[in-house]
Structure 1
Amino acid sequence: MPSADCDTDHRFVKSKVRLSVKVAPKKRGSCTRKLQVDKLHELSEEFRRELEVRLDNNEIPDQDEDPENEWQHLKTILQETTGEVNGFSSRKNKDWFDENDAEVEDLLKTKRSCHAKLLTYPNVQAAKAAYRTACSTLQHKLREIKNNWWLALAERIQSYADMGNTRAFYEALQSVYGPVNQVQAPLRSSDGSGLLTDKYSTPFWVAGLSTMGTFLVTIGTYKSPPSKTYPNRK
């Protein structure tokens, strides 16, 4: 049977295997979508009009004087308005192919169609030549798109550095190197127990600094052995 398009001439062998796959437990729940607050400055007038309309149509009853209910009502209106006007933020760390999806997809469609013709007519020289040309064109265009994307990104980062825009400069660098993994390293005592509050962490620092002082004094009183002297040989 014809194989998947993996740029090879291999074929798949169809077989039936009885396996029992253990389903991995889901450790993480649904991720909370983040509001795209960066566009708030550009869409401030539209956001203000939409917020006024929603506040007029969703008034809190006068008999409800609970501050918590009023805050929850206002928070819901703000979140819904921001989500409708500004939208939600997508993945920040984009790669070169994310901004050229349409062009890359057209090239892949051309290659797939040539590959399908080659599988249908394997002995036709025109089909083989068309497939080789499509593969070569795809490889050349992908390298060109990737190189142009990196050049444009480098010019944009350099322009931020020249203008002194530190925030945009580091955001552009983060888009290149990816997000920073924040690792939590809780403070622990010598026996391995966690120190969560200042009540427990303060005696730890006192004991630790006292031990360090004793260690430094021990090093200061230590006398090194005399060095060996060797006679000069003529």
Structure 2
Amino acid sequence: MTSADDCWTDHRLIRSIMSIRLMRKRRMQKRQSRPKLNIDLLGDTTYQQQLQDALSAALPKQYPEDTEKHWGTLSTAIMNSCKNILGQKKRRHQDWYDENDTEIQQLIDIKRQTFITWQNNIHCKVKRAAHAKAKAAVQTQVRKLKNQWWTKKALEIQQLADSGDTRVFFDATRAVYGPSYRRLTPLRSKDGFLLLKDKDAIANRWKEHYKDLLNRDTIPEMEALDQLPQQPIVESMGEPPSLGEVLDAINLLRTARPVPGG
């Protein structure tokens, strides 16, 4: 048997039929915040009366004996009445999209209409080109409106900063970026077993920590103190200044140049 007659020396080919489906990458969903009621309207007596009337009509005359069912009925009636009368609180910070909503919506409607027309005759190159043109117009105009809004807002805030009115300046800044929220960072108790989340408990824990840190009883080593170089005592520095020295110090303060930003 020659080497050419040896079996399994060639490559073996396996043929198979496979069905592979690639999973789409999931987009990160924005965390939905709990909607808040517009309680600012309660400062108006008209809304107060409307809410009282709505609660009087929504609250049942009799409640179930079970505590959970009682609370569920009461909370549902109160929440529904508040939503109908007060409504949800709108976003506090300004946005470029909201202020140009009408113009942007018109562009989107035109793009949607050209898309529907193209889909009804998908092989028509003219309608496809019209849809592409409308789509490009939406992108271009939206970028233009966004840049104009931010440029205008930046100029307004800069003028407030130049005028020195810090209160109005920070109000305008918060109107754009929204208020900042400081979250409490939980701390461990001194023994390390309890996690403190309450504001007062966290404050007391920091107080306890710095009290132990800054009030430690230490015994200095006399050998280390003896090794420190000693300077001769200048007795004159402990004497009160003379009248001439005080006047010279005051004159130096008057002629000193102001520090920038001071």
TM-score using structure 2 length:
0.45
Q: More relative contact order in 1 or in 2 (CA 8 Å, sep 6+)? A: 1
